[in-house]
Structure 1
C-alpha cells in the first residue's frame, strides 16, 4: 500500500466501526446507493479547492493563536488560568473542568482498564465463570468503588425499573408507559433530591450519611447513561415477551432447530443461547439490526444479566450505548471486528486525537479566553476562530473519553457503536450532524423513541418527542427544553427544501445550489453553538457588530462565505468517494 492509501485507510469510516463497511451484496449495494458518481478529485475545480484549503487552514490557526497567545493585548486577563505544559515549553489551557477531570485521571483510568481486563482474562481462563457472571460481580464492585454508599440510590432506581417491566409484562402498553414515566421521573427526582440524607428517609440509615461516598461523589451525573441501559433492557424484554406470547408458534416445542430461520432451543436459564444462521451464512448474525432482535430465551432476561449489563464497567461511565440484546448476544458470540489489527488501528486513531487535543490546548487558549470574555479589540476573523476552536475542543473532549471507553470494551470482546464518525468540521447539515454526533445515543433514540412513535411517517411530532427527551436527559432546565424544540424548527427548512430541490438532482447547477444552502446551514449551526457553548450573549453581539458594522468585517464575511463554499464542495466529494466504495451513512 502507498502512503496515500495508508492515510486514507487510517482515517476511513471502516477503521472506526465495522458497522460502516460497504454491503457485501452487490445488488443490495446498487439498490441502496444508486448510480455511481464520477470522481471529481482530478478536475481543475477541485485542484483549485485544495490550493485554497492549503492557504486558509494555516491562516485559521494563526488567527486563533493571535487571539489567545501572549502577544495579544488581552493576555493578562486569562493567563492565570493557564498551567505548566509539557509541549515545547509552552503553557497549557487546562481550565475546562470537565476535560480536566478526565485528563488528570487518564492514567488512573488506563490502570483500571488494565486491571479489569487482566482479572477477567485470568478468571475466564482458569475457572468456569461465564462472561456475564463476571461482569455482574465486577460491575457491582466497581459501582461501590465509584459511588460508595450512593450506589444504593442507583440500585434503587435500577430495581424499580426491573420490577415495573416484570410486573406488568402481560400488559405491554401499561408496562411501557410505567417504565417511561418512572424513567423520566427519576431524572427529576435526582435533580431535586440527589443530596437528600439517608437519615431523612429512614432514621436507621443515618450512619450512611457519613460513610464512603466513592471516588465519584456526583453519582447522578453518570446515572443518565444508566437510565438508557435500564430502558433498553425493559423494552427488549417486553418486545421478546410479547413476541413469544402473541405468537407461541415461534417457540419450538422440542430441542430441534430449523436452519431456515433464527430459533432458540428450549432451555433452562443456565443454558447458553444457540442461534441458528439463516441460510447457513453469517450475514444475518453479523448484521447489527439482527442482533437487536436476536431471539434470546426469555429466561435470559434475568436480574443477574440485567445488573451485569447495567453495570458493565467499560461502558458504565459514559457509554457508548449498547442495547441489552446486542450485549447479551456479543457475550456469547465474538464478532469478527474483535481482532488485533482493527483494534490496534482504532487505538492509534485515539492516540492521534489525543495528540491533536494536547496540541490545541498548548497553542490555542480559547477556553481561558471564553471564560474571561477577553476578546476586546480582536477582529471578526479572530473572534470567529475563538468560537470555532472552542467548538473543536468541545467535540474532542467528548470524543476522546468515548473512544477510550469503546477501546476498553473492544479489548474485552464487546463491540459497541462508535459515537463520533465525522470530524466536527466535516458537517454541513443539521439533520446529518445529529446522526453523526453521539451516534450510539442517536441509534438508541431511534430504536426506543423515534420508531415506536411512528418514525418518518410522523416526522415532526416524533422529532419534537425525541429532542424533548434529549433535552431533559441532558439536564432539567427550561432553556434546554426550548433548545430542543428550536432544533426541530431549525431542521424543518432543510427538510422541506431538500424535498423540493431533489427533483433537480440531475441538473449541473444542483451541486452548487446545495453548497450555498449548506453554507447557510453552517452559519446557523455555528451561531447557535457559539451562543450556547462559547461566546455567549456578549460575545455574539460583539461578533455581529464587528462583522456587519465595519468594512473589515464585511470583507471577512464575504471571504468566509467563499471559504465555506469550498469546504462544502470538498465535503460533498468525500461523501461521494465513500459512496463509490459502497458506503452510505446518511451524514
Structure 2
C-alpha cells in the first residue's frame, strides 16, 4: 500500500555491485541539506519559546477538532446516518457500533489455526524467556563444516618442529601474497576459509555475504518462501539474509521484544477506539457525504488515511513481532507515523521500507538510478500502482505521486545552499513547502486508497469553489505550518541526541 518513492539510496547500502550514487531525493530530515560537505549544524532547542507555545496550542486544538468532527458525523442523529448504518455491526466498546477495515479479533477456528502454526516460532521466544530449550531450532539443522585435525605426530618431538615450520611458512606466504583464498588452489579446499564460519554481524553483511554452496537448495528455498511470519504479510527479507540467520541465530532480546509487542497492542486498541467512535470508513464506502461542509469532507478523508496507516501498521508489526519472537531480524516497514512526515521523499523512504528497498535493488538501480531520475520514478510508480491492482484510480494515484514529488525535488536544489540555510527565516520558508507537501500527498492518497476520483472531485469543488471552503483551507494551512515547525524541531532533537532520523519511528 502507498508503495515507495524516494527512489534513492547509495549503492553502498543497496547494491554492492553498483557504483551509482543515489542522492537526489536523499535529503536531510531537517530543512538543511545533509548532502553538502559542510558540517551538520545543530540549532538550539526551541521547545520552550513563545513561538512554539502557539504551535502547541493550534495543533492540539486541531487534533481534538478532527476527532470531534469525525464523531459528530457518526452520530445517529446525523442526516446521513441511515445511508451507511447498514454497514455497521455491534461493537464491544460501551455499546458502540463498528465498521471493521480488518478483523482484529479473528474467528475462533482461524485463531486456533494461527496459534498452532505459530508454536514452532514462538518456541524460541519462550525458551529464551524461561531459560530452557524446548527443542532444537530449525537453524541448528543447517549444515556446518567441521574440520578434523589428525595429530599424527602426537607425543613426538617432530610435532612442535613441524607446527612451527608450518605456521612460520603461512606467515611468510601471507606477507608475500597479501590475500588469497584456499579455494583458488582447489575448490575442495574452499571450506578451509576461516571467515566462512564467522557469523555475519550486520544486516548488510547477511545480505551481501555469500551462503554455503549447499545452502542454495530447493528445500532451503522452500523454507524461505513459506516461512509463515514473512510469507503471509511480513516485511520482505532476502534469501541470503534469511539463511544466514538460520545458520547463525540472532539472540532474542526479551525486553525489546516484549516492549514491541506492547506497542503493537496499544496500536490495536487505538484503532479499535477510532473505529468505534468514528464511522468514516462506512461513510466513504456508502458515499454518504451529501450536505457535509468542506471541513467535514476533509476530516472524512484524513481520518480514513489515518485508519489505513493504522491498519497496515498493525498487520506489518504483528508479523514482524512474530518473526522477532522466533529470532529472525527483519526490517521495520513503517518508520514514522503518517503525520510525522513533512517531506514527500522522506515519507516514501520510511513507508513500506522493505518493499522500498526491494524496488531500489531490483528495479530502480537496473533502470539506471539517478542517471534518469525523473523517468525512472515515473516507471516505478506505474509499476507500483499496477502491483496494487489494475484500476484507473491507482494509475491516477501513481501519476499524481510522481507529479507531486517534482516540486520538492526542484525546491531542494534551489533553496538548500549554505546561504539559504543561514537565513533566519529559512525554516519558515521550508514550512511553506511542507504545507504544499502535506496537501499534495493527502490528495494523491485520497484518490488512490480512499474516495477515488469521484470523491476527490466532490472534495475539490467543496473546498475551492466556496468561500467557506477557502477560509477553512487557510486555517488548515496555519495549523499545518505550526505542525511542520514541530516536526522540524523533532528532527533537530534527534540530531542533538545522535539518533539517525532516517530509522526513527
Q: Where on the TM-score scale, by shorter chain, does this alignment land: which range?
A: 0.7 to 0.9
Q: Is the 8 A contact 2:462 2:469 kept in 1?
A: yes
Q: Is the 8 A contact 1:133 1:304 kept in 2?
A: no
Corresponding residue number in structure 1 for 2:368: 454
Q: Following superposition of structure 1 onto structure 2, how do residues 178-197 of structure 1 map, counting pairs within 5 Å?
A: none
Q: 1:445 aligns with which of 359, 377, 389?
A: 359
Q: For residues 128 and 522 of structure 1, do their structure 2 counterparts lie closer, same or farther at Cα, with a shift above 3 Å needed? A: closer
Corresponding residue number in structure 2 for 1:131: 139
1:51 matches 2:57: yes
1:513 matches 2:443: no
Q: What is the CA deviation profile of residues 213-256 of structure 1, one whole-angstrom value per residue up to 9, with x for unaligned ones?
A: xxxxxxxxxxxxxxxxxxxxxxxxxxxxxxxxxxxx8643399x
Corresponding residue number in structure 1 for 2:81: 75
Corresponding residue number in structure 1 for 2:197: 274
Q: Is the 8 A contact 2:140 2:246 kept in 1?
A: yes
| Separation of aligned partners in 2, 1:452 and 1:286 | 28
TM-score by length of 2: 0.76
Corresponding residue number in structure 1 for 2:496: 580
Corresponding residue number in structure 2 for 1:225: none
Q: Following superposition of structure 1 onto structure 2, how do residues 13-412 of structure 1 map, counting pairs within 5 Å?
A: 34-94=40-100, 96=101, 99-100=102-103, 103-104=106-107, 107-108=111-112, 111-112=115-116, 114-117=118-121, 130-131=138-139, 251-253=181-183, 266-267=190-191, 274-275=197-198, 285-335=200-250, 338-412=252-326
Q: Is the 8 A contact 1:33 1:582 kept in 2?
A: no
Q: Give the drift of 1:422.
A: 0.9
Q: Is the 8 A contact 2:88 2:98 kept in 1?
A: yes
| Separation of aligned partners in 1, 2:75 and 2:92 | 17
Q: Is the 8 A contact 1:33 1:579 kept in 2?
A: no
Q: Is the 8 A contact 1:430 1:491 kept in 2?
A: yes
Q: Give the drift of 1:76.
A: 0.8
Q: What is the CA deviation profile of residues 368-412 of structure 1, one whole-angstrom value per residue up to 9, with x for unaligned ones?
A: 100111111211111111111111111111111111100000000
| Separation of aligned partners in 2, 1:104 and 1:133 | 35
| Separation of aligned partners in 2, 1:376 and 1:486 | 26
Q: Give the drift of 1:459.
A: 2.0
> More deviation in 419-428 or 293-302?
293-302
Q: For residues 481 and 538 of structure 1, do their structure 2 counterparts lie closer, same or farther at Cα, with a shift above 3 Å needed? A: closer
Which structure has greater helix proportion? 1
Q: For residues 467 and 102 of structure 1, do their structure 2 counterparts lie closer, same or farther at Cα, with a shift above 3 Å needed? A: farther
Corresponding residue number in structure 2 for 1:571: 487
| Separation of aligned partners in 1, 2:228 and 2:414 | 48
3-state DSSP class of the match of 2:76? coil
Q: Give the drift of 1:481.
A: 4.4
Q: Give the drift of 1:489.
A: 2.6
| Separation of aligned partners in 2, 1:46 and 1:513 | 16
Q: Is the 8 A contact 1:133 1:308 kept in 2?
A: no
Corresponding residue number in structure 2 for 1:208: none
Q: Give the drift of 1:311.
A: 0.9
| Separation of aligned partners in 1, 2:305 and 2:396 | 21
3-state DSSP class of the match of 1:295? coil
| Separation of aligned partners in 1, 2:383 and 2:267 | 30
| Separation of aligned partners in 1, 2:113 and 2:44 | 46
Q: Which has the higher contact order (CA 8 A, sep 6+)?
A: 2
Larger radius of gyration: 2
Q: Is the 8 A contact 2:46 2:489 kept in 1?
A: yes
3-state DSSP class of the match of 2:182? coil
Q: 1:463 aligns with which of 353, 377, 385?
A: 377
| Separation of aligned partners in 2, 1:32 and 1:77 | 59
| Separation of aligned partners in 1, 2:345 and 2:126 | 46
Q: Give the drift of 1:506.
A: 1.7
| Separation of aligned partners in 2, 1:537 and 1:364 | 23
| Separation of aligned partners in 1, 2:476 and 2:84 | 28
Q: Is the 8 A contact 1:265 1:274 kept in 2?
A: no
Q: What is the CA deviation profile of residues 178-218 of structure 1, one whole-angstrom value per residue up to 9, with x for unaligned ones?
A: xxxxxxxxxxxxxxxxxxxxxxxxxxxxxxxxxxxxxxxxx
Q: Which runs of 5+ in 1 are unaligned?
A: 1-29, 135-248, 256-263, 277-284
Q: Give the drift of 1:265.
A: 8.0
Q: How many residues align?
A: 424
TM-score by length of 1: 0.66
| Separation of aligned partners in 1, 2:335 and 2:39 | 19
Q: 1:419 aligns with which of 299, 320, 333?
A: 333
| Separation of aligned partners in 2, 1:327 and 1:345 | 24
| Separation of aligned partners in 2, 1:129 and 1:343 | 19
3-state DSSP class of the match of 2:103? helix
Q: Is the 8 A contact 2:320 2:332 kept in 1?
A: yes
